[in-house]
Structure 1
Amino acid sequence: MNARPDLHPPAGTGPLIALSDVRAAYGRITVLHGVDLSAQPGQIVALLGPNGAGKTTTLRVAAGVHPVASGTVMVGGRDMTGARARDLARAGICLIPEGRGVFPNLSVRDNLLMMTFTGRSREEIEEIAYSRFPVLGQRPGQPAGTLSGGEQQMLALARGLATDPAVLLLDELSMGLAPLVVGRLYDQVAEIARDGVAVLIVEQFAAAVLGIADHAAVLVRGRIERAGPPDSLRTDLSALYLGSSV
């Protein structure tokens, strides 16, 4: 799988997505207070923090689902601040929200068939999905709602990959899943990143993602309190989550 060529510069030439001094609010309540965050081609960035820190809002802003109060959102070097979600999706941004987002009453095949709006054929989409996640190829006629939680998450990822993303935004991939299943899913995410896709992962449980992350940031009360290589943050995570360092 190749990311969109117009949004896929060689690794090290600059971020595919960059949020700079981003502020966002719900009504009169500001939830993001000047967030700076970016991801380069092939890089996995983990956004960590306690509940209510603003992690999901950060992803929603990056995907154009939630408006920016101030600051900039750059995609592939272009200023896309204020762009609609569908325009950002066309530019290569793919958000897989918390809760997986599959259609439970539709079969695996029909969930994938819906992604033909991207311009890819059913055969091509199924080839991508079943080669990446062979278990889905064994159950094409099974209703998605009867799959295990891990298999539903695989289907959500397969649907996202059908859009040929340059940037993959993942919200709480591990939620409700056994650690072994989570490990397998994140192994797949690491493979996706190796194809040159920039990956931004929101996780509350740091241990689930730090093993594959290239960079990590800790968001506390709407502000990035620490950022750097994952190993440099491990010992301070408890204090940051509890707020003793802020």
Structure 2
Amino acid sequence: FEIWDAIGLKQSVEKMAEEGETVPHWVQSMIAEGNESFYKKENGDRSYYHHGSYTPVIENEKVIHLSGLKEKGNVIKKNGGSSLIDLGDGVACLEFTSQNNAIGPDIIMMIHQALDEVEKNYEGLVIGNQGKNFCVGANLMLILMEAQDDNFFELDMMVRQFQQTMGRVRYSKKPVVAANFGMTLGGGVEVSLPAARLQMASETYMGLVEVGVGLIPGGGGNKELYQRLL
């Protein structure tokens, strides 16, 4: 039914009728009543069509939909690459929203702002999102452009800033939890390892893969791995 909604209920039923397909009577009645989707979303809450009206979707209370919270106005801060969201239980969530959730200056800046906010007003911070992957690493195109322009001072500053930011995650006054899933590569690993705890999904693919493009992990990942081997 969600796929049917995505296709377009009314348009697809019209197409089915043109091709002589049989459309269930209750679906025809539903459309005739002015309802053009099986699911609705209002103020971040989902409901589904059931016997002539829409009924709220009942979910486990532990389920969190970041998109719904943002629609309810729970965004504390945001920029072009990330959002800080109030989860409603004394905990904030730092969500990456850049392309492929790659780490760039926007995310580095927001990590500092998130830690400042959490240390003042919250009990803890979760670094997580509900995209395709947790984080595929740093924005290598930005690094390549700086290298091609011989801006090695800028590159040095970026690496230092990344390391200092990860130090803030490690020594935060409030606990930080990284909620990893999917691909957690390079900079995504370096954001996660300094956290107080890692809560990983079963399908998590994690590693410092910079050597594959001729680089050495520069955000503190080598140090974090070495500490775990001592």
TM-score normalized by the length of structure 1: 0.30
Pick 1 or 2: higher relative contact order, CA cutoff 8 A, min separation 6: 1
**Rg bigger for which structure?**
2
TM-score normalized by the length of structure 2: 0.32
Greater per-residue helix proportion = 2
